[in-house]
Amino acid sequence: MASTLEALDHWVTEVAAMTRPARIHWCDGTDGEYRALVQQMLESGTLIELNQQTHPGCYLHRSHPSDVARVEHLTFVCHPDEQDAGPNNHWMDPAAAHAKIDALYDGCMEGRTMYVVPYCMGPIDSPLARCGVEITDSPYVVVNMRIMTRMGAAAQARIEREGHFVKGLHSVGELDPERRFIMHFPAELTIKSYGSGYGGNALLGKKCHALRIASHQARNEGWLAEHMLIVGIENPRGETHYIAAAFPSACGKTNLAMLIPPEGYRRDGWKVWTVGDDICWMRPGADGRLYAINPEAGFFGVAPGTSDETNPNALQSVARDAIFTNVALTADSQPWWEGLPGTPAIDWQGRPFDPAHGPAAHPNSRFTVAANRCPTWSAQAEAPQGVPISAIVFGGRRPSLLPLVMEARDWTHGVLMGAAMGSETTAAATGAVGVLRRDSMAMKPFCGYHYGDYFRHWLSFDQPDAVLPKIFHVNWFRKDKDGTFLWPGYGDNLRVLEWMIQRVEGRIEGVQTPIGILPAAGELRVDGLNLDGRKLDVLLDVDHVAWRSELAAIGDYLASFGSRLPEALRIEQQRVARALDNVIEEPRREAMAR
């Protein structure tokens, strides 16, 4: 099924000449194609059939033990000018990068099938959607791309109508960590990935296209491509507010996107609608509001920690027609990971489970499933115009200092909040876990250009005719002195979202503090919680002295972006620092006056 678009046909021919596959298959995205690929992988051992009585249509894939997470140190953003990549990215000269990776591609598909995968990121008829083509030698990638994107003939037809697309070339190569690169060429709308089969490195529509390349496109075209979930909160009056929220990977995005209201809220008529759990594309509408689509069609979620207690909707979503990666197995071939009942028999590497070898499931083990399998999936996820965003939320794992929730005083302050985001690292990326790092807007691994320019782009949306969302920051992970979490989290996070919505609607006042607006006494609904006043006080405490040190650290971090840092952001950081100084100095001035 060669393309009628000459540019696409020429590119496929060019790649085939370089990689020399045994055969070429143009993917049409049909059920029959999916079933044939699954059968092929079952026969080769690439997939393992799970218990079809308990998990119909579900399969397990085990990746190489050296290939289990994103490899940020091997991920490059190759702008012609190194300054455009910024200190937030690893850079390589485009010509050198092409030469290095093309040498690896030489003959790499000999004896293999080369799959041509046309796909659309976003609803197929949405003006906000963007298309791409991934060429890969991995059938595992093909079946996952079918779940994660609108893949196949309809996407190819749109590409041929529009005449342009993002090019993605991927080969698993030899899965050698020393011969592994993920290269991005934003100016060329091109991605090249070699030596990895892991989702974030191999499913090129996901982080590579939908964030690193799309963020560059968005800057040029006047929209935002963000590492955010999209969730709709319907109140008892039948009104739905849509919220976009940014958290680093494995910090609860999927749980929040599929939140189940506490019993009292359900009784009152509150409902939660899932639009997306990971990526959000936002564009100003004619009415000045930001409208968002989820460019993905599926979930690529972290399995460990997903349970009936934490996220029953996710668990129900993966009960059928899902692909699991690097989870453990029970004796009767059901998928298992830490957090589930039962006992693992086989670990994620295929060995009899032995606690001495570590967790049964890899900490970054995953599930891939269609988004419309979720019980709370919203039909608005297919709305071509997107959904209007009422609030933007930033957050991360901070055991202290950051209060449960705070609201920015205006858009510029909100951009500072997002830019200053810090979080403990998780198993979603290689490297040490539990280390505090700045992760502005949760985009540090994904922003396709200089962070200073990215902050400037965010600030540019504050126009006279704009009706911008309010911006908030949350911290579900604050701990007591004994190391226990103070806030119950999960479904009870709706209590915080309710406070935000009341602020959006102008129903409550909040309390002004130097760092932002916090809930006033009685505004945060805590009925039914085992949460005494002391814990709530700690959750909402503002330690002005510690915050002064935090603002100084934020200032140092912002200064690392040099002359490209927007002056407005530096001024805002100084404004908050002065407000803290005034609060700290006020008691001393009063004492001197007495």
Q: What is the pLDDT along the chain (594 residues), one digit of tens a residue?
A: 588 899 999 999 999 999 999 999 999 999 999 999 999 999 999 999 999 999 999 999 999 999 998 898 999 999 999 999 999 999 999 999 999 999 999 999 999 999 999 999 999 999 999 999 999 999 999 999 999 999 999 999 999 999 999 999 999 999 999 999 999 999 999 999 999 999 989 999 999 999 999 999 999 999 999 999 999 999 999 999 999 999 987 688 899 999 999 999 999 999 999 999 999 999 999 999 999 999 999 999 999 989 999 899 999 999 999 999 999 999 999 999 999 999 999 999 999 999 999 999 999 999 999 999 999 999 999 999 999 999 999 999 999 999 999 999 999 999 999 999 988 765 555 556 667 889 999 999 999 999 999 999 999 999 999 999 999 999 999 999 999 999 999 999 999 999 999 999 999 999 999 999 999 999 999 999 988 888 999 999 999 999 999 999 999 999 999 999 999 999 999 999 999 999 987 665 555 455
251 is catalytic: yes
User: pLDDT value at position 394?
Assistant: 98
Rounded Cα–Cα distance for residues 201 and 168 (Å): 11
Rounded to an integer, what is the distance from CA 551 to the centroid of its chain? 26
Which domains can be identified in the chain, with CATH numbers?
6-46+67-221 (3.40.449.10), 225-298+378-430+459-547 (3.90.228.20)
What does the DSSP 8-state code read for residue 381?
Answer: G
Tokens of 346: 């086989």
Catalytic residue among 78, 251, 280, 447: 251
Query: Are 296 and 238 within 8 A, CB to CB?
Result: no
- Residue 346 half-sphere exposure, CB side, CA atoms within 13 Å? 16
User: pLDDT value at position 426?
Assistant: 57
Rounded Cα–Cα distance for residues 488 and 477 (Å): 9
Kindly write down the DSSP assignment for every residue of 22-70, as one continuous string: SEEEE----HHHHHHHHHHHHHHTSSEE--TTTSTT-EEE---TT-SSB
User: Taken in order 76, 79, 81, 87, is the CA torsion positive or negative?
Assistant: negative
What torsion, rounded to 10 degrees, do the Cα atoms 12, 16, 18, 22 define? 160
Going by C-alpha positions, the residue among 579, 594, 450, 587 that lies closest to residue 515 is 579
Neighbours of 424 (CB within 10 A): 18
Going by C-alpha positions, the residue among 230, 261, 264 that lies closest to residue 244 is 230
Going by C-alpha positions, the residue among 338, 453, 333, 376 that lies closest to residue 77 is 453
* Overall pTM surpassing 0.75 (yes/no): yes
Strands 387-395 and 240-246: parallel
User: pLDDT value at position 429?
Assistant: 53
User: pLDDT value at position 250?
Assistant: 67
Going by C-alpha positions, the residue among 314, 318, 385 that lies closest to residue 125 is 385
Rounded Cα–Cα distance for residues 298 and 277 (Å): 9
CA distances from 366 to 127, 168, 219, 547 (A): 31, 23, 31, 37
Helix (H, G, I), strand (E, B) or coil at 287: coil
User: pLDDT value at position 251?
Assistant: 81
